[in-house]
Amino acid sequence: MERSELIRKGHSIKPTVIVGKSGLTENMDSEIRAQLEDRELIKVKMLRSMGPPSGWKEDIEDLAHRIKATVVEIKGGTILLFKRSSKKKKDSK
């Protein structure tokens, strides 16, 4: 799927993961992985308590690298993540 198509689809979805001042904990990592496996495309909302984007953008990039996801877009405090689901790969065979 192309980036522009993912961004277009992302406009119609609401954030399903909200990250507060505790940051990207192991529980958050697990939740993001699970949601990506179910939905493939999710929005993550970073609350202002996380501080300025310069402080958490690198954390998001690290998370995406660890879970082999793609950061499609970062707009303000909202991140659009994509990862092809292994469930859907199996279903299509």
Question: pLDDT tens across 65-75, in order?
Answer: 999 999 999 99
Is residue 25 included in any domain, yes or no? yes
Measure the CA angle with vertex 73, ends 20 and 27; round to 5°. 35
Is residue 90 included in any domain, yes or no? no
CATH of the domain at 79: 3.30.110.60
Is 80 exceeded by the pLDDT of residue 53? no
Is residue 92 included in any domain, yes or no? no
For residue 78, which of 48, 55, 47, 45 has the smallest C-alpha distance? 45
**Domain total of the chain:** 1
Strand, coil or helix: 11? coil
For the chain, give the number of residues. 93
Q: Are 70 and 42 in contact (CB under 8 A)?
A: no
Domain of residue 21, residue span: 3-85
Q: What does the pLDDT read at residue 72?
A: 97
Residue pLDDT, tens place only, 3-19: 999 999 999 999 999 99
